[in-house]
Structure 1
């Protein structure tokens, strides 16, 4: 019997649905992920361990260079706060890089300009050919491109975008010999044990190929300048550390928003509840939910509920309501699907 053969229900502790791949429940309808959770004290101890590890790395990497860390900057709240943390908590020289997927909220673009100016950091805005990008998104909306495991944590459209973001960010880090790469992953996206991790060239090459292969079938070699080259993969000594500070620091969305407002950040009114930068997200979520019968953000949100970052009710508000149809229709028109 498959998950879809029974009535859909949610875990009583987090928000993972019975339709989520590989999930099992006990007699109390508690999922196996919640059953394995070791509790808040264990999480706090692990967070301290990994921040200490990062602090030691900062000391070991101290030398005169243009930038200490490159941050993938979407203009959203989490990546904005991540820049603040690197600048003001750790006193690092930051380069931000923004991938313009042609669907960045106008407010998010203004946020990028204001925040970078107020925090005194540089920004590289990378704008690939819009026709190429929209061909990719349109194809991703019509058929599956990636492995089932990949799609447990992001929609096909988002996975396509993230592939560009990771490729551009890592390639730039290698070119500029920047020792740290920072991402604004929430605690639900990046587990604490992965928050300070040396980039493995062999793994990254395999991971890149898993998404680059399908993308090249759609767009050809025009997208290669935005990904790490075979030659760069041989330069193992230049590969940076990946740092996800929001995984080992306190995460309170309300406090984060209040903090980043000090740098000119404003919340967009044209994005869905799970994004503060992308106008394509609602459509991407709807496609995923219709295709797989679970929300592409549910893994992230469930982790945040499980660890107490969100209440269960707050989590359900993010993943249970249907998408805003005005936002969905906007994307469909932009992609010429209607």
Structure 2
């Protein structure tokens, strides 16, 4: 099969013919119809994730059709249309027993701990615990983002951030996950300030119902809109500067949610714990979404509460995906919406 193969961290990958994946006994093989281009893929390509072993195939956001089923994978048959969280939980560890599959102690991750979905086919173990059937009418280009980008934003805003109607929410970084966070927060009745340096991303955030500003204007805008700061602020970019700005814009007892991955020079950002104590701020992390939460998310997509399709920018093949990946850290490269990869193109 054709796949994007990473052979050296930070060096441009290549599209290569590789062996098709073997079907896990407890899993399935999925023919990939659509897969996402995410900043997390960039981190993996840069070598920021300890779980990645070379050579490697990226890709953790996917939707497609089951083409092979392992003997111990109950509940699925060939021809089923599916997606999956990027965290493949074990289902039995203490975290899973508490219902927190997204932080499973024995988690596997396509595109990180094993080969991923930037390929014509991908093997997914632990199907019974993690595979999510797609409702009729949910198109693959939309569904693949539910595996990470949109699902991550949904959990960060609702389940971790506990947004309430009438609150002021600041979303720092309006790439795919940030724009999804804007959409979710607006739909839940929040006043949203979207912060991004790229005009195209700010324009889409405005179209989604937010007030959009540059990072330089964010503090003044929040001050003008609120009495004493935002209720909820999310770092959807992942940088030391954004962490500081997110904490600084919060009201006393406000909530900061760290969504964006922090790698490289930003891996260990300084945190003003004096400010955290003085304002009794809550500093929270958010990591994906458990498969058990997907029915509620899919119901909101199906009834039109959320419209992830509005975030789609364009669709590309594997060769163009390589070029987009290499350019992803260039200012403005990921602006204006989401890129979806179609391996068949």
TM-score w.r.t. structure 1 length?
A: 0.35
More helix by share: 1
Which structure dedicates a bigger proportion of its chain to strand?
Answer: 2
